[in-house]
Structure 1
Amino acid sequence: MYIADETIDKIIKEDVPYLDLTTKLLGIGEMTGVIKYTSREHAVLCGTEEVVRIFKKLGIEPVKASSSGSLLQPSETFLIGKGRVADLHMAWRLTMNILEYSSGIATRTRNLLEKARAVNPDIELLSTRKLFPGTKELSIKAVVAGGGMPHRLGLSETILVFEQHLRFMGGIEGLLKNYAVLRKAACDKAIIVEVTTLEDAKKLCRVGVDGIQLDKIPPEELQTMVAEIRKMSDRVKLIATGGITDRNAEIYARTGVDALSTSSLYFGKPTDIGVVIEK
């Protein structure tokens, strides 16, 4: 995944506006040392490529670097760099933050996907746009490293009709009335509509929408809805969303939907990573 130099520079500048004052005044900055990163738990690694770029910008030589997506064991050292002590200390905290938060997202993604695929091997896991502003590039990379995919990268990418849109169109009936015009204008795009009732889902099937997003529907009811929709169309993609976490992923996966969409991947405990700087 491409992340611009501008983003890398901004990350460094945010934590190191001028110099590391502590290292400077202690008089140890010109000494040489090694920085080592070790996982304290089972995890899916993410963010090492960005850390290596930070290393190079700060004059640190990468000695070892496992790639994003690697499965880490407890006590496994996955990243090593060597250089001036002043540079190692400038890199220390900001690189650890990148690795802990990114690996946390990647690990949650892998765990949720494994639970869902244990009961539905063909299901996909999609991340929503409900991420903290300013973290999008690293967050999306982490989801992909964990085996998921972004549901939408932005408003310019796909057509996803929500209830908020329908209020200005006269509801589902208004959308159906104008669907042919929308389909013609979006001839090369998928059209997905979010609904909460089987009746509305059936109406959308009849006009041939590409996907139906089923929001906040209890698993038992959702399973019945999926079965009824499949009788009408085996082409339409069905996405379950709303309150899906690693605690209920298996239940939702059993309903037969094509994908689970969730924001829970972004929120949770960072991966516990230890960092040591030594001579």
Structure 2
Amino acid sequence: MFDYEIKLLKEWIEKDNNFFDIASYELRNKETTAEILLKNNNVVVSGIEIIQRLLSEYNIYSEFYYNDGDFINNTIIGKIKGNAYNILIVERTMLNVLSLMSAIATKTYNLVSKINGKTKLAATRKVFPGLGNLEKLAVIHGGGDTHRWNLSESIMIKDNHIALYGSIENAINAVKKYKSFTKKIEIEVENEKDTFLAAENNVDIIMLDNFSANDAKELAKKLKYNYPNIIIEVSGGISEDNYLDYVDDNIDIISMGKLTTEIKYVDYSLEV
């Protein structure tokens, strides 16, 4: 688990280290202990499990007092012990991961906690290359939905697919031959006509893209009346300022790219 992510983080650390860290070189035979401090309040901590794995790669002992998903305030979250040189070269990467993941988890939690109803809040594929799985894991820690983890997890037909296949019917028929019973077909639509055309062609999920909240609710009501088993997702132009306008009994998923693209880093520090 996390093998790819650990490899990537180690590559970044070694590139940062270059031949050696000049400031830390004389400390290479010294053992030390240090504390990891959270310097903000009202934070959903995320990244602990991955950091423990990363530290073990450098033979650094770690003990954390909290688990991923815990809601905590300004405090010491854990302690580490090991070779001083190794601790110093992993410090910034370790803190960056905790800061990023905790920021996403905290934002997700703050938004999800305001939803009164069955509608779920989901991330999108607007994640940073290489660290996307960690960003989506942070969404889970914050109580959100990850959406699809990769391109093959579900069959998602977007506007460019429809343009290239020539029509909604052509696109759906083309991908059906590759659909396993474990997969769902989702299609992105931009108007009511295409919405019902997609439903008539037996897709599993319909994404209403760039609809106003009122239009999305009205169309979702019509769609659910005729096709009660279809999952309805809304996306496009949705932010923390307007997402609650889309919460509705007929809307299953609100997906928001800004869960992972517009965040305020959580402040962590390491003190020997």
Match of 1:254 among 248, 251, 254: 248
Match of 1:231 among 225, 234, 238: 225
1:67 aligns with 2:63: no
1:24 aligns with 2:25: yes
Distance change >3 Å, CA 271–CA 70, structure 1 → 2: farther
Contact 2:169–2:198 (Cα < 8 Å) also in 1: no
Residue 164 of structure 1 and its aligned partner are, at CA, apart by: 0.9
Distance change >3 Å, CA 161–CA 31, structure 1 → 2: closer
Q: Distance in 1 between matches of 2:64 and 2:180?
A: 48
Distance change >3 Å, CA 205–CA 72, structure 1 → 2: same
Residue 139 of structure 1 and its aligned partner are, at CA, apart by: 1.3
Residue 8 of structure 1 and its aligned partner are, at CA, apart by: 4.2
Give the match's secondary structure for 1:150. coil
Residue-pair matches, total: 269
Partner of 1:274: 268
Q: Distance in 2 between matches of 1:55 and 1:167?
A: 48
- 247-256 vs 93-102, which deviates more? 247-256
Contact 1:64–1:78 (Cα < 8 Å) also in 2: yes
Residue 92 of structure 1 and its aligned partner are, at CA, apart by: 1.7
Residue 22 of structure 1 and its aligned partner are, at CA, apart by: 0.6
CA-to-partner distance for each residue in 1:19-69, whole Å, 9 max, x for gaps? 3211225x6862523232224121111111122223222232213342211
Partner of 1:112: 111
Q: Distance in 2 between matches of 1:147 and 1:8?
A: 25
Partner of 1:97: 96
How does the TM-score come out when normalised to structure 1?
0.87
Contact 2:155–2:175 (Cα < 8 Å) also in 1: no
CA-to-partner distance for each residue in 1:203-235, whole Å, 9 max, x for gaps? 222232211100000001111111111121110
Match of 2:179 among 163, 169, 186: 186
How does the TM-score come out when normalised to structure 2?
0.89
Letter in 1 for 2:179: A
Partner of 1:133: 129
CA-to-partner distance for each residue in 1:101-139, whole Å, 9 max, x for gaps? 111111112122222x22x2x122221112121222211
Residue 261 of structure 1 and its aligned partner are, at CA, apart by: 1.2
Q: Distance in 1 between matches of 2:170 and 2:54?
A: 52
Letter in 1 for 2:80: G
